[in-house]
Amino acid sequence: MLNYSPDIYKLEILTIGWKVEKLENRIETKIEGAMEKSKVLVVGGSGYIGRRLVKASLAEGHETYVLQRTEIGLDIDKLQMLLSFKKQGAHLVEASFSDHRSLVDAVKLADVVICAMSGVHFRSHNLLLQLKLVDAIKDAGNVK
């Protein structure tokens, strides 16, 4: 049997301690990163999925923006829902898919954009509308 000096064991313990400390620091950094808050823009926020995304984003404490399409006009149900989002702390951003500049300005407020528009699963023109959002995201250049 080999006889090591006690100093070797002390060194080994020190090394293990240092490794554990490093691991703890890495875990802490990861947790802090995961808890980082974002600025979230929800498009299609008054829809079935969209309204849940808005609520979830607010509940997670993210700065939440909801696109208020000019086209909704006086749709009372949508307006009431948007106002309820505002009361819960969301910011309403007026924009239109027919106005590229307004979409770019809306996107510039956020670093995460979530689109919950309907009609993407079949060949509807909403799919093409979403490409306008993609163009706005590219032009805004700030989305993560």
Rule CB under 6 A: which residues touch ligand NAP? 44-50, 67, 69, 72, 78, 97, 116-118, 120-121, 126, 129
Is 45 or 58 the residue whose CB approaches ligand NAP more closely?
45
Contact status, residue 132 vs residue 43, Cβ threshold 8 Å = no
Rounded Cα gap, residues 44 and 21, in angstroms = 46
Work out how close the CB of 143 gets to ligand NAP at its nearest, in angstroms, rounded to a whole number.
18
Q: Using CB atoms, what's the residue nearest to ligand NAP?
A: 47
- Least CB distance to ligand NAP at residue 109 (A): 16
- Please, what is the minimum distance in Å from the beta carbon of residue 97 to ligand NAP? 5
- Judged by beta carbon, residue 108 or residue 114, the one nearer ligand NAP is 114
**In the β-sheet with 112-115, what is the strand arrangement from edge to edge?**
91-95, 63-69, 39-43, 112-115
Least Å distance between CB 9 and ligand NAP? 59
Among the listed residues 70, 119, 73, the one whose alpha carbon sits nearest the alpha carbon of residue 97: 70
Residue 15 or 118: which CB sits closer to ligand NAP? Answer: 118
Which CB atom, from 45 or from 63, has the smaller least distance to ligand NAP? 45
Question: Measuring CA to CA, which residue among 54, 115, 38, 110 is closest to residue 87?
Answer: 54
Whether residue 94 contacts residue 66, with contact meaning beta carbons closer than 8 Å, is answered with: no
**Residue written as tokens 């979830």?**
56
